[in-house]
Amino acid sequence: MSSVTYFEAQKWASSFVSDHKIDESVVNLLLLGMKNWNLTDLLMNYQQQMPQHEFEKFKDMLNKVYHGWPPQYLLGEADFFGRKFKVTENTLIPRQETEELVEWVLNDFGNNQSDLKIADIGTGTGIIGISLKLERPLWDVTLTDVSPAALSVARENAQRYGLDIKSICSDLFATLKGKFNIIVSNPPYIAESEKYLMDQSVIEHEPHVALFAAEKGLFVYQRIAAEISSYLEKEAVLYLEIGFRQGKAVKQIFQQAFPSADIFLKNDITGHDRMIKVVFHNDQ
């Protein structure tokens, strides 16, 4: 046993992150994640001795965070929409704005849509499609990704929650079959010229194939607009996450491709353009 309690380990870690200019929230994120505890569990165990091997692991993880490692990769999981999902360096770490995209879909379609077909394109960890399926169990959800490694993580996350979800290795729509009522995607949308805006830890550790896109970050949206028609049920709806500078450009891409579609731009909680909804009509 070590000579520190969990309270003392937390206190030491708070001093460490303060000295090294690390976000204070990392302390509890790592400590709770290591133990699979919630905050109440931590409080109840404050005066318990922390095993030496745990304390060493805790210190090592904090040191790695200081050197740029995202804590979610160190823990092997991240929170999204109130649940935990496996993450690896083959997948992006889930973000708050993607939760808002999921909420938009759920709010639009309510509780009474039992026969909808949904495709989550470029699923990564599977968080969008899996979260939709968990909230609307009768929806028929398909996950796709061009990366076999990412798709393997998505399958593990679906299994974690006991879900029967189809998963297909596909470059966008290339090997996808059928038509869908809802298509949702958080594609790569960062322009190479915007690297200077990003945290160094993201650039060094998160998969570039899921981050960056050509044509000033618009290439995948252009492809979706060009390829999506054959996969749309009547009155289908497309939901996309976008970069905070891309609202006007992405809206224009779909207006040109689908002149009679209704297109809506939505801000995230910080007030930035972050989501696009395209409502297709029967003549398209």
Residue 157 assigned to a binding site:
no
Look at residue 218 and tell me if it is in a domain.
yes
Residue 124 assigned to a binding site:
yes
By C-alpha distance, which of 233, 266, 251 is closest to 102?
Answer: 266
Residue 125 assigned to a binding site:
yes
Residue 153 and residue 29 in one domain: no
Look at residue 109 and tell me if it is in a domain.
yes
Q: What is the pLDDT of residue 112?
A: 66
Look at residue 181 and tell me if it is in a domain.
yes
Q: What is the CATH number of the domain that holds 168?
A: 3.40.50.150
Percent of the chain surpassing pLDDT 70: 98
Residue 104 and residue 232 in one domain: yes
Query: In the predicted model, is pLDDT for residue 283 greater than 80?
Result: no
Residue 123 assigned to a binding site:
yes
Q: What is the pLDDT of residue 98?
A: 95
**Rounded average pLDDT over 134-155:** 96
Task: Give Cα separations from 241 to 1, 14, 219, 245 (angstroms).
Answer: 48, 35, 14, 12
Q: What is the pLDDT of residue 212?
A: 82
Which 8-state DSSP code applies to residue 7? H
Residue 122 assigned to a binding site:
yes
Residue 125 and residue 261 in one domain: yes
CB 275 within 8 A of CB 265: yes
What is the distance between the alpha carbons of residues 214 and 209, in angstroms, rounded to a whole number? 11
Residue 136 and residue 13 in one domain: no
Tally of structural domains, the chain:
2
Q: What is the pLDDT of residue 77?
A: 96
Residue 171 and residue 272 in one domain: yes
By C-alpha distance, which of 21, 101, 92 is closest to 264?
Answer: 101
Q: What is the pLDDT of residue 203?
A: 83
Confidence of residue 200 (pLDDT cuts 50, 70, 90): confident
Residue 145 assigned to a binding site:
yes
Residue 107 assigned to a binding site:
no
Domain boundary among 14, 41, 67: 67
Residue 50 and residue 134 in one domain: no
CB 152 within 8 A of CB 146: no
Q: Which tens digit of pLDDT belongs to each residue from 84-122? A: 999 999 999 999 899 999 999 999 998 766 789 999 999
Residue 96 and residue 47 in one domain: no
Query: In the predicted model, is pLDDT for residue 282 greater than 80?
Result: no
Residue 169 and residue 257 in one domain: yes
Domain that holds residue 26: 6-67
Look at residue 75 and tell me if it is in a domain.
no
Query: In the predicted model, is pLDDT for residue 1 greater than 50?
Result: no
Residue 31 and residue 102 in one domain: no
Residue 30 and residue 94 in one domain: no
**Rounded average pLDDT over 230-237:** 95
Q: Which tens digit of pLDDT belongs to each residue from 43-96? A: 999 999 999 999 999 999 999 999 999 999 999 999 999 999 999 999 999 998
Look at residue 220 and tell me if it is in a domain.
yes
Percent of the chain surpassing pLDDT 90: 84
Look at residue 243 and tell me if it is in a domain.
yes
Look at residue 76 and tell me if it is in a domain.
no
Residue 239 assigned to a binding site:
no
Residue 169 and residue 231 in one domain: yes
**Rounded average pLDDT over 173-201:** 89
